[in-house]
Amino acid sequence: MPPALARFFWFLNKFFMVPLFRLGLGPFMGNPFTGYIMVMKVIGRKSGKTYFVPVNYAIKDGNIYCISGGRRTSDWFRNIMANPKVELILPGGAIFASANESSDAHKKLIVSRQILKNAGLAGYFEGYNPRKISEEDLQSKVEDLPLLRFTPQGIGAGASDPAGWAWISVFVITIAFIWAMIEVL
């Protein structure tokens, strides 16, 4: 990915996607064009700080999967490998999960294709159509992309729970509604 495009996605993720999910607006973000996104709460391997990382995902056989486009050098990937207990903020709610790298080559091929399809238009940034690429070509394209499997362990703290930001959305919508009603009267 060109550096300018990577910088654009960094900015979009940090200042748009993560705040919207933390505000409880995640369910309104996913569609076939922009893709289906979850936000991971990852603990820094050196700092111990919490980082919020939006990624495309797929659900298969009761597990949640994502791939690291930055390969094994991605900071969030290395953080998860150091501390595999993560919270996932999915559009339908938050879960607590344990992560590990999937080594099943057949499952990696199937799930990677689904993740790339779920990425919407961003799925084409690797230079191919994830819906039409042959199995052999896809295998060669994703062989260096680590596939992470998240096994649900329990319920996580969602946007509407204490320390979540959903109250801000509700508050703003309520104030806007009251203001509109005052203007009508």
State how far the alpha carbon of 106 is from the alpha carbons of 61, 102, 115, 124, 172, in Å. Answer: 14, 10, 14, 22, 47
Q: What is the mean pLDDT of residues 149-178?
A: 81
pLDDT score, position 24? 81
Say if residue 1's pLDDT is above 70: no
Structure tokens at 138: 């896809």
pLDDT score, position 150? 96
State how far the alpha carbon of 153 is from the alpha carbons of 56, 74, 115, 163, 170, in Å. Answer: 20, 25, 22, 21, 29
pLDDT in tens, 10-65: 788 888 888 888 888 888 877 777 788 899 999 999 999 999 999 989 999 899 99
pLDDT score, position 166? 75
Segment (H or E) for 100: strand 93-101
pLDDT score, position 87? 93
The band of 2, judged by pLDDT with boundaries at 50, 70 and 90, is low
pLDDT in tens, 67-125: 887 778 788 899 999 999 999 988 888 899 999 998 888 888 889 888 888 888 776 66
pTM over 0.75: yes
How far apart (Å, rounded) are the C-alpha atoms in residues 12 and 6?
10
Domains of the chain and CATH, by start = 3-158 (2.30.110.10)
